[in-house]
Structure 1
Amino acid sequence: MTPRTAPLVSLLLSSLLLAGCAGPAGSPTAAPGPGKGSPTASAAATPQATAGGHHHAAASAPRKTPDGPSEAAKMVCGDQPMDRLTAILHLQQDPHTVNSWADSTFTCTYHLTDGALNIAVQEAPDQAQALTYFNAGQALAKNATPIQGLANLGFPAYETADGTAVFQKDSFILTVDASDLPATIGPDAVTRNALAYQLSTTILACWVEHH
């Protein structure tokens, strides 16, 4: 991120922070095994797994964290993403969620009427390795397109045609995977990509606020 773009990125993030950011949810609970809706559509999940039609070659897994996910990772299952999701889709009640911690990845699955929305945070040992995993995932993801300009908020980011947004910040790789949902969802006919992007920026704002 260049000095010229930094103030613009800060302005974008500041506008997102005006809504505040709630604390993370509680401890992770057991979740069903990987399936079509599992959060493995990009480098933000373990490279050996697959989901939503994305296939990844084997790669070195990040260092495991025996003590569980960080508080920042658990924010993806907290009040702020939930509030944003219910507002975007005009939901009458919060959807049921299930979260899990495995292979250095914290996963929160939101069970919507039209399918599962998966948000995952892979925690790498450091920023350099996180970027390595991110680049590998982008290279292997099907129909991946870089998110560029102000839209990426100054972070490495890409999206896939089927509704997945991936951002790398510090030692985290965030994936919002809406590929299990219809092409458009909710009374406003929000596209999967738009939903994934808006939830991603909400979570990034939470991380910046609590950094």
Structure 2
Amino acid sequence: MKNRNQALAALAVASMLLSGCAAATGSVSAPSAVSATAPSAASPEAGHTDSQGGGHHGGGTSSPGATKDGPSDAALMVCGDQPMDRLTSILNLKEDPHTINDWANNTFTCTYHLNEGALTISVHEAVDKASALTYFNAMQALAKDASPIEGLTNLGFPAYETDDGSAVFQKDAFVLHVDATDLPATIGPENITRNALAYQLSSTILACWIEHP
């Protein structure tokens, strides 16, 4: 996989598991209904109103399956302390960036407003693992310049990344999408690539999900 050391990736996840994870705290506002069209197997990314979505295209109908009343605790974690702490550490931010979140059509979206642009993390909650994999496969098929994430770096889950800064993982009934496509090619004092940033935030969230299934 491009620009990534497999052993370091596994070590990073192990470190997160040891440090502990918690569900999103009071910093997450109550998700509100939005008018965006939901993602679907035919057009998985239509529901991301705040993301530029450079690696994906589509728009249309609602996703199949029952509509949930609100996001799960696991989905709320993408707007919680762990990804926020990881983001501020990587970019050496002096304060937490402003975030907004939405819940629509079984997709929870958290947008981090950085000076350089928007970073969007979303979780689609399918009815079961098979439905989530179908949704993931449709996203990958439609994604521009998608490359599978393989070996230790996929953490044992179906995963892919796009050249312009997205990372997508499927775990159980969840499809996690970290979208850094609105950011510059490199960011922060260490000039981390947006692909590496998307991957590191993905691994942080997945580590929390592994600890708190």
Fold shared by both chains (TM-score > 0.5):
yes
Q: How far off its partner does 1:21 sit?
A: 1.1
Is 1:14 matched up with 2:29?
no
> Who is 2:153 aligned against?
151
Residues 62, 104 of structure 1: 8 Å contact kept: no
**CA 1:113–1:12 in structure 2 vs 1: closer, same or farther (change >3 Å)?**
closer
CA distance in 2, matches of 1:172, 1:151: 18
In structure 2, C-alpha distance between the alignment counterparts of 1:31 and 1:194, rounded to whole Å: 32
List per-residue Cα deviations over 1:84-116 (Å, max 9, x = no partner). Answer: 000000000000000110010000000001000
State the alpha-carbon separation in 1 of the partners of residues 191 and 34 from structure 2: 29
Matched, 1:107 2:109: yes
1:137 and 1:128 map into 2 onto residues whose CA distance is: 14
Q: CA deviation at 1:67?
A: 2.0
- Give the superposition deviation at 1:15: 3.0
Percent of aligned positions that are identical:
65
CA offset digits 1:57-93 (Å, max 9, x no partner): 6566043434200000000000010000000000000
Describe how 1:58-77 pairs up with structure 2 within 5 A. 58=60, 61-77=63-79
Superposition map of 1:76-91 within 5 A: 76-91=78-93
CA distance in 2, matches of 1:111, 1:163: 16
Distance of 2:184 and 2:34 partners within structure 1: 22
Q: What is the root-mean-square deviation of aligned Cα atoms in Å?
A: 2.6
State the shift of 1:130 in Å. Answer: 0.3
The answer to whether the aligner puts 1:138 opposite 2:134 as a matched pair is: no
Over 3 Å counting, the alpha-carbon distance change for 1:33 and 1:111 in structure 2 is: farther
In structure 2, the partner of 1:185 is 187
Q: Displacement of 1:24 after TM fit?
A: 1.3
TM-score by length of 2: 0.83
Alignment of 1:156-167 (within 5 A): 156-167=158-169
Q: What is the SS of the residue equivalent to 1:132?
A: helix
Q: Distance in 1 between matches of 2:189 and 2:35?
A: 31
Structure-1-length-normalised TM-score: 0.84
Q: Deviations over 1:134-177 (max 9, x none)?
A: 00110110000000000000000000011000000000000000
Give the corresponding residue for 1:28.
30
Q: How many residues align?
A: 197
Asked if 2 retains the 8 angstrom alpha-carbon contact of 1:155 and 1:169, the reply is yes
CA contact under 8 A between 1:24 and 1:71: conserved in structure 2?
Answer: yes
SS where residue 63 of structure 1 aligns? coil
Contact 1:46 1:105 in 2 (8 A): no
Judge conservation of contact 2:109–2:120 (CA < 8 Å) in 1: yes
Evaluate the alpha carbon distance shift between residue 70 and residue 27 of structure 1 in structure 2; reply closer, same or farther with a 3 A threshold: farther
Distance 1:134 1:59, change over 3 A: farther
Q: Which runs of 5+ in 2 are unaligned?
A: 1-8
User: Within the alignment, does 1:198 sit opposite 2:165 as a pair?
Assistant: no
In structure 2, how many angstroms separate the alpha carbons of the residues matched to 1:89 and 1:135? Answer: 31
Residues of 2 paired with 1:118 and 1:47: CA distance?
12
Q: Is the 8 A contact 1:31 1:98 kept in 2?
A: no
Structure 1's 10 and 189: CA in aligned 2 closer, same or farther, altered over 3 A?
Answer: closer
1:172-205 CA-partner distances (Å, limit 9, x unpaired): 0000000000000011101000000000000000
